[in-house]
């Protein structure tokens, strides 16, 4: 039940755009290392935050009237039904997070994508350094600062560097994307509440270790997406529930962590797992299922050049060049 909103993500058809090609194909000889947020120096954290805010000042790559920042929730929403609950979940989000990393670097950030190891913050998400009001993303939504969005009251984040951030889009119904500037909002399930205690069972280190023991990709991606991935989305609440979840900067911390777990799983048996890819695909128009293959395209809708699943199976291949 905590996953209800997450599992009802919807897609939105939009006019195509000329792909922005910021993904060079080269041989990876010196992979960079992505580290956890609390490992970054203060200056690097500030640089990351500044770059996120910079994205709001850049024009859309998709020809929209909104910003580059808003392109990311827009594209995520557009392809929702073909990137969730299917085999492409992990490779698509791996590439999407990389495209975001490159956008941050174009905004002056000199570091790389960072992840949030939420297993260190079980039942105390709000106290995590990630949610710091000074060098973090800010805290929970406020009871004293609210707005109405599509007829519903939302609790706005009222501290931290993103308290004045105004995302442009919101998933409205299974077939409609709402264009409506609104405050960044959250609704945490945290602490010792019943919901938090239940949720914590599915993202603590013990449960993650169980997920990591899956031997085959088909069962692994299902367990990771439906367990820790979905529970963190639900536990953060607010922007993280609908398909426009990249509205919240924490989305990319979270998905870098999911990518890290997949990377660790692959590294446990690289000979087999760097090519282990199976499961189902979904047709966005009629939800007809198909058989997943390494040659399948990962669509970015003009945000970046489309690549194949095979291109991103390794983080040190011809497209990606990083490790954890």
The tens digit of pLDDT for each residue in 75-101 reads 999 999 999 999 999 999 999 999 999
Answer yes or no: is pLDDT of 11 > 70: no
The answer to whether position 155 is within a domain reads no
Q: What pLDDT does residue 225 have?
A: 98
Answer yes or no: is pLDDT of 175 > 70: no
Which pair of tokens denotes residue 296? 């399948």
Domain that holds residue 266: 6-133+189-323
Answer yes or no: is pLDDT of 17 > 90: no
Residue 27's pLDDT band (cuts 50, 70, 90) = confident
The answer to whether position 184 is within a domain reads no
The answer to whether position 89 is within a domain reads yes
**Residue closest to 46 by CA, chosen among 135, 139, 114:** 135
Number of structural domains (the chain) is 1
The answer to whether position 141 is within a domain reads no
Answer yes or no: is pLDDT of 9 > 90: no
Residue 12's pLDDT band (cuts 50, 70, 90) = very low
The answer to whether position 165 is within a domain reads no
Which CATH number does the domain housing residue 291 bear?
A: 1.10.1280.10
Q: Residue 180 in contact with residue 150, Cβ under 8 Å? A: yes
**Residue closest to 310 by CA, chosen among 301, 321, 299, 319:** 319
Answer yes or no: is pLDDT of 197 > 80: yes
Residue 288's pLDDT band (cuts 50, 70, 90) = confident
Residue whose entry in the numeric block shows the structure tokens 């805290």: 139
The predicted model scores a pTM of: 0.92
The answer to whether position 231 is within a domain reads yes
Q: How many CB atoms are located within 10 Å of the residue 89 CB?
A: 21
Q: Give the whole-angstrom CA distance, residue 116 versus residue 203.
A: 12
The answer to whether position 177 is within a domain reads no
Answer yes or no: is pLDDT of 210 > 60: yes
* Average pLDDT score, the chain: 92
């Amino acid at each position: 039940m905590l996953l209800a909103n997450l599992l009802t993500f919807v897609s939105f058809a939009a006019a195509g755009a000329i792909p922005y090609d910021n993904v060079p194909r080269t041989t990876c000889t010196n992979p960079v290392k992505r580290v956890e947020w609390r490992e970054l120096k203060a200056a690097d954290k500030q640089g990351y935050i500044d770059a996120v805010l910079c994205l709001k000042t850049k024009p859309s790559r998709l020809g929209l009237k909104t910003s580059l920042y808003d392109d990311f929730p827009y594209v995520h929403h557009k392809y929702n039904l073909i990137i969730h609950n299917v085999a492409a979940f992990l490779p698509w989000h791996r590439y999407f997070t990389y495209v975001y990393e490159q956008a941050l670097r174009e905004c002056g950030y000199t570091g790389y994508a960072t992840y949030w190891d939420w297993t260190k913050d079980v039942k105390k998400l709000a106290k995590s350094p990630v949610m710091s009001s000074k060098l973090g993303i800010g805290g929970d939504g406020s009871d004293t600062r609210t707005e109405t969005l599509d007829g519903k009251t939302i609790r706005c984040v009222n501290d931290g560097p993103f308290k004045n951030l105004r995302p442009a889009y919101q998933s409205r119904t299974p077939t409609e994307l709402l264009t409506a500037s609104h405050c960044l909002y959250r609704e945490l399930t945290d602490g010792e509440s019943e919901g938090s205690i239940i949720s914590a069972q599915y993202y603590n280190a013990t449960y993650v270790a169980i997920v990591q023991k899956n031997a085959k990709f088909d069962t692994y991606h299902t367990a990771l997406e439906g367990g820790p991935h979905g529970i963190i989305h639900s536990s953060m609440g607010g922007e993280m529930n609908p398909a426009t979840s990249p509205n919240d900067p924490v989305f990319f911390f979270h998905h870098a962590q999911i990518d890290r777990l997949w990377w660790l799983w692959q590294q446990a048996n690289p000979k087999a797992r760097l090519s282990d890819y199976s499961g189902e695909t979904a047709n966005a128009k009629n939800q007809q299922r198909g058989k997943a293959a390494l040659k399948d395209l990962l669509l970015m809708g003009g945000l970046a050049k489309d690549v194949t699943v095979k291109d991103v199976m390794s983080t040190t291949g011809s497209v990606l060049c990083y490790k954890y």
